[in-house]
Copies of this chain bind each other. A is one copy, B any other.
Amino acid sequence: MSILVVGSVALDTIKTPFGSCEDELGGSASYFSMAAGHFDKVKLVAVVGTDFPKKHIEFFESRGVEVAGLQVADGQTFRWQAEYGFELGEAKTISTCVNVFEHFHPIIPDQFKQSEYLFLANIDPSLQLEVLDKVGGSKFVACDTMNFWITRRHKELLQTIERVDAFILNDAETRQLTGEPNLIKAAKWILSMGPKMVIIKKGEHGALLITPEFKFAAPAYPVELLFDPTGAGDSFAGGFVGFLARCGDCCEDSLRLAVIYGTVMASFAVERFGVRRLAEIDTFTILERLKELKKLSEFEIQPV
């Protein structure tokens, strides 16, 4: 199977209580690619500026990511500068310079159009719809979004959701989109809009997978060395879609395990800046953490 991701590639400047980085390789599609790349072939569609370091492109290639869809446009690469406080909660954005991203329209190379798995990373839902029009016949389509688009592109976002298999969002976004505080009820509302499943990411509290047939609650990996939470959600999506592409089916057991693989990839992403840790780990390390999560949530019933 092969996975197509359309999203952002950015240069991030981040400060946390534990350190700082400048012009670090970031963006939703970067995190997704590095996570999903552990499972299957990833094809990247995004845009960068002429200032984008060649070493990052080589880095993608060295990790097996196909970069034929990475447009280089005149101008500067999308840049995001942010700071995290002591609690490493929500990032405080200092500046967002969309730069070349402002006029971005995804161009899908012909050889990418038959991708069986498609991930629409967090970009303008109008662009997500453009991609859906250009890429036909994917076996499985997942998409992500953010608070900004829920407010500014509400109609387009609902049109996108209608056409995807899996909608991945966090708990705050779920409540914002639906106006419903109860996450289970909110998920049911989203399911009624069209997708086959909703995945609600809850950060340190794990993730919920909700389908009309079953619910699955995954614990978060108990990360003590949380270093930089940036990209956790995209890495989660990378593990989730990556595992599904690798195993080739969407049965209940595979979906449950895919959420766990997503959890594992997110837990690695936050241990270092950018995609550094995701690039460093191997299959053995991933499997070890998977076993830890199994142990973490296991119990045996014994009636009273």
Chain A interface (Cβ within 8 Å of chain B)?
Answer: 38-39, 86-89, 181-185, 202, 204-206, 208, 214-220, 222-224, 226, 243, 246-247, 253-254, 256-257, 259-261, 283, 286-287, 290-291, 294-304
**Residue numbers in B under 8 Å from A87 (CB-CB):** 181
Known contacts A217-B219, A304-B283: A226-B182 contact under CB 8 Å: yes
* CB-contact partner of A205 in B205, B222, B291, under 8 A: B205
**Residue numbers in B under 8 Å from A246 (CB-CB):** 304
The complex is assembled from copies of this chain, and their number is 2
7 contacts across the A-B interface (CB closer than 8 A): A88-B181, A182-B223, A215-B296, A217-B220, A217-B296, A283-B304, A287-B303
Residue of chain B at shortest CB distance from A254: B302
**Residue numbers in B under 8 Å from A298 (CB-CB):** 256
* CB-contact partner of A299 in B39, B216, B223, B303, under 8 A: B216
A38 to chain B, nearest CB (A): 7
B223, A184: Cβ atoms closer than 8 Å: yes
Residue of chain B at shortest CB distance from A283: B304
B283, A294: Cβ atoms closer than 8 Å: no
A286 to chain B, nearest CB (A): 8
Q: In whole angstroms, what is the CA distance A299 to B246 when docked?
A: 17
A256, B299: Cβ atoms closer than 8 Å: yes
Q: In whole angstroms, what is the CA distance A206 to B299 when docked?
A: 14
Q: In whole angstroms, what is the CA distance A300 to B294 when docked?
A: 8
Known contacts A202-B205, A204-B183, A206-B217: A257-B301 contact under CB 8 Å: yes
Residue of chain B at shortest CB distance from A298: B256
B260, A299: Cβ atoms closer than 8 Å: yes
B185, A217: Cβ atoms closer than 8 Å: no
Q: Which of A217, A256, A303 has the most CB of B within 10 A?
A: A217
* CB-contact partner of A184 in B88, B185, B224, B254, under 8 A: B224
A249 to chain B, nearest CB (A): 11
